[in-house]
Amino acid sequence: MDTLIKNHLLLFISFCSCFFSNEILLAQSHTSGSIVFSSENIAMDFIWNGDSINSEWEEKASLLIPVYLDNCPRKFYMQFDTGSPYSMLYNGKIKAIKDKYPKSFSNEILQNQVSDFDLYINKIHISYVQINSKNYGDSTINWNNEQKIEIIGTIGTDFIDGKVVVIDYPNKRIELLQSAPEKFKLQHSFIYSNRNILLPSIINERETLLFFDTGSSMFELLTSKEIAEDLAGPNSKPILFSVNSWGKKMIAHSYPSNQKIEIASRKINVNRATYIEGATDSQVQQMLKMGIGGMTGNKLFSDYILILDTKLKMFGIAIP
């Protein structure tokens, strides 16, 4: 299981422990600067990146967007990750690119930040005044194999901030728009705070919120033990997965389910409900007291089009 995906589990628990607190506000103070787009609207195709946890393969583990850099012919990828409030680059990868194509970056690559970073998505020029960088993954690029997927960074929610994002999962397409198309008629509000997305949901007739994280699809619904067991099928037994996140060992208990949850007036099938053994009771209780029932990612919406208006804080789920 990829380290970045694993880390989302513990980050989610930490997020729940300090949501709306000074700790979250301090974390946001290190976000990148403004982003300049050469076009108001962007349409981009994405690909799925597969991964495994223990021996189980998940072909839709994360969502990757093809990107190009100045003065470099190679196609790279960045992970679209609403679990990250800011975009970032991976130091080893971008230094390897700069070594081979020095003009691909206009400024020096510092340890934690790159200034005036330019990239192209579907020939649309996108310029980050500043973008964070971090040490993650290996430091090599396989220049001899152009088919190899080279992931050089993360596109966070700063990319969609103040805009409408339309994620068409069945057709593997994302649109970034200034306003929601009339055909979608968004009628449901969601919480958008510090670039974190919380979707109102109804689980077992109880109103709750789900943290929406496109950075992780390994678990369809990550929730509390109580909710996971309530959603489990009769006499079902969980599949156990060992997860080592930021050096902390945790066990994921994933129950098969035939239940539905309601989001934006749509009843959506839940095939598996999962809880993490290793989170403290106080963390889980604090999460539930704040009305947060868990985390979901791409898998829950894989048959739908998800529309999020981050400016008006309205959303909807459409059938393709």
| pLDDT one-digit tens code per residue, 201-227 | 999 999 999 999 998 777 899 898 889
Rounded to the nearest 5°, which phi and psi values hold at 311? -80, -50
Contact 167, 317 (CB under 8 A): no
Average pLDDT taken over every residue of the chain? 85
- CATH number among 3.50.30, 1.10.287, 2.40.50, 2.40.70, domain 3-22+31-163: 2.40.70
Dihedral sign of CA atoms 95, 126, 71, 46 in order? positive
In the chain, what's the furthest Cα-to-Cα distance? Answer: 61
Q: pLDDT band at residue 261, thresholds of 50, 70 and 90?
A: very high
Question: What is the end-to-end Cα distance of the chain in Å, rounded?
Answer: 31
**Ordered alpha helix ranges (H), 120-252:** 225-231
Range in 169-178, 181-190, 260-269, 279-288 the model is least confident about: 279-288
Task: Assess whether pLDDT exceeds 50 at residue 281.
Answer: yes
Q: List C-alpha distances in Å: 28 to 32, 95, 239, 285, 312.
A: 9, 25, 36, 24, 21
- For the stretch 53-110, pLDDT in tens is 667 777 888 899 999 999 999 999 999 999 899 999 999 999 999 999 999 998 877 7
Task: Say how far residue 169 (Cα) sits from the centre of its chain.
Answer: 14
pLDDT for residue 242 is more than 90: no
**pLDDT tens per residue, range 148-193:** 999 999 999 999 999 999 999 999 999 999 999 999 989 999 999 9
Pick from 191, 206, 119, 171: nearest CA to 318:
171
Tell whether the model's pLDDT for residue 42 goes beyond 50.
Answer: yes
Query: Quick one: average pLDDT of 21-48?
Result: 69
Phi, psi at residue 30, to the nearest 5°?
A: -100, 15
- How far apart, in whole angstroms, are the C-alpha atoms of residue 175 and residue 223? 29
Q: How many other C-beta atoms can be found within 10 angstroms of the C-beta atom of residue 283? A: 16
Higher-confidence residue of 106 and 228: namely 228
Instruction: Specify whether the backbone of 20 is left (phi greater than 0), alpha (psi in -120 to 50) or beta.
Output: left
| CA neighbor of 130 nearest in space, from 101, 103, 110, 104 | 110
Q: pLDDT-based confidence at 283, cuts 50/70/90?
A: low
Q: What is the pLDDT of residue 110?
A: 75
The CATH number of the domain covering residues in 165-318: 2.40.70.10
| Token representation of residue 287 | 């999460």
Whole-number percent of the chain with pLDDT over 70: 84
C-alpha–C-alpha distance, residues 69 and 117, integer Å: 9
Helix (H) / strand (E) containing 152: strand 151-155
Asked if the model's pLDDT at residue 26 lies above 80, the reply is: no
Answer whether residue 248 shows pLDDT above 80. no
Domain with CATH 2.40.70.10 in the chain: 165-318
